[in-house]
Chains A and B, each alone.
Chain A
């Protein structure tokens, strides 16, 4: 019996290996979700949301953002940072509270900017 148990699991590190493989940025202090702001001309700003897990459908999230915050926005693909949601206007606090409401731990969300 016990031998059978041991044999059945051929690779004890399989799960972990997969986990690491999934994570696109292992080693770098990554798993934070960054919400940044960038100034445009005048009093216009951009809000940049990066580091959302790929498990989420960013397209749908963007749609909700656009509807809720009454702004436009776009998805940007970046080779280093992955998919990024970019919104027009300063929506940092709103995004943060939205993410927290959806059950993302607060500690992983970093709001940058002034």
Chain B
């Protein structure tokens, strides 16, 4: 990125914006309907969706959609490169990586980070995106400072013409200003509000225009909305070993349960019912599962558990608590306060497998 800085100098603001979009892919996916894939594409297109509008506004302003496309692609490529670097020669895994970046299939924040779990064992025990993020952020900051100063000059020049509201906004942002790219991205929109397209003419404003305006102001006042994607939800990958021929050991259940803040019994019950087997917890706190399972399979089940019982359906945050009241489980979200009941775990019908004489109880 840094090498290309001078190249993009005139459109610095825009570039920043783009990065932001690439970054906030996760919440975008969360906002979107779970069935609609590829938030990045949506952002690029003309669909009127949340944060996309600001971006669109920029696009309109700058008037070259081609440049936008390329730039949007770029950080993504960069990210992929980073992944490649991270995982070195794990080509296959890298491929898997790309999927969540492009389209979080079930649109939940949880599903993407868990994918990272798959890749983590080779690279490190506990993969975090923080490192990657930090790197990007710093480069962004550099870019930002320049842009920021430029914008400051602009807005100062404009301020005399514009009303006080924008001025206030600027101050607000400066105060909040712990987030560099939010600040940079929103400043232009703040100055933009004075020059809405319908102001010059007699015509009525259209719905999309008003929508743009709404989102611009929304993000101008609450810069944090765009960047809530910051933390990602990561869990150590399940460590799966085979014991003998027919049993599988899931060594770090307790670890994972602690991470998800769920009672191990609940998780184990879910695992068993989903996988259609039984098992037990051994002395060392490891889970012994009957049957052969690969790490990927267990991970899939865990992922589904997270989607169903851990992430908040409203805000996609994993900070939820599971409580039991009158034999019904409730999850209450700690970040948005929503509360909902979750379905009980039912194992359903189990077919007769193995010798009947073994199963005879009476």
Kindly provide the distance from the CB of B359 to the nearest chain A CB, expressed in whole angstroms. 14
**Contact of A46 (CB < 8 Å), options: B273, B275, B353:** B353
Q: Does B343 contact A (CB under 8 A)?
A: yes
On chain B, the residues within 8 Å of A78 by CB distance are: 349
> Which of B275, B343, B348 has a CB less than 8 Å from the CB of A114?
B275
Query: Once the chains are docked, how many angstroms separate the CA of A29 from the CA of B296?
Result: 29
Binary contact readout A27-38 vs B (1 if CB under 8 angstroms, 0 otherwise): 001000010111
Tally of A interface residues using CB under 8 Å: 20
Add 19 more A-B contacts to A39-B291, A48-B348 (CB < 8 A): A34-B348, A36-B276, A36-B349, A38-B277, A38-B350, A38-B353, A39-B292, A46-B351, A46-B353, A48-B276, A48-B351, A76-B351, A80-B349, A81-B349, A112-B273, A112-B274, A112-B348, A114-B297, A114-B301
Is B298 engaged at the interface, CB distance under 8 Å to the other chain?
yes
B349/A114 in contact, CB under 8 A: no
By the criterion of a CB under 8 Å from any partner CB, how many residues of chain B are at the interface?
21
- Whether A50 sits at the interface, judged by CB under 8 Å, is yes
Dominant SS among interface residues on chain B: loop
Establish whether residues A50 and B349, one from each chain, have CB atoms under 8 Å apart when the complex forms.
yes
Tell me whether B87 is interfacial, beta carbon within 8 Å.
Answer: no
Shortest B273–chain A CB gap in Å is 8
A-B contacts, 7 listed (Cβ < 8 Å): A36-B348, A37-B276, A40-B354, A76-B351, A112-B273, A114-B297, A114-B298
Measured in the bound complex, the distance between the Cα atoms of B301 and A40 in whole Å is 19
Q: Are A84 and B276 in contact (CB under 8 A)?
A: no
B300 to chain A, nearest CB (A): 5
CB closest residue in chain A, given B290: A39
Q: Which of B288-308 contact A (CB under 8 A)?
A: 291-293, 296-298, 300-301
Q: Which residues of B contact A38 (CB under 8 A)?
A: 276-277, 350-351, 353
Would you list which residues of chain B between 238 and 252 have a CB under 8 Å from chain A? none
B349 close to A84 (CB less than 8 A): yes
Contacts of A46 in B (CB 8 A): 351, 353
| Cβ-defined contact, A113 with B275, below 8 A | yes
Cβ contact within 8 Å between B343 and A29: yes
Residues on A with C-beta less than 8 A from B298 are: 114
For window 110-143 of B, CB contacts with A under 8 Å fall at none
Distance between Cα atoms of A33 and B273 in the complex (Å): 15
Shortest C-beta distance, A36 to chain B (Å), equals 6
Residues of chain A with a CB closer than 8 A to B291's CB: 39
Interfacial chain A residues near B276, Cβ < 8 Å: 36-39, 48, 112-113
Q: In the bound complex, how far is the Cα of B296 from the Cα of A48, in angstroms?
A: 22
Nearest residue (CB) in A for B350 is A38
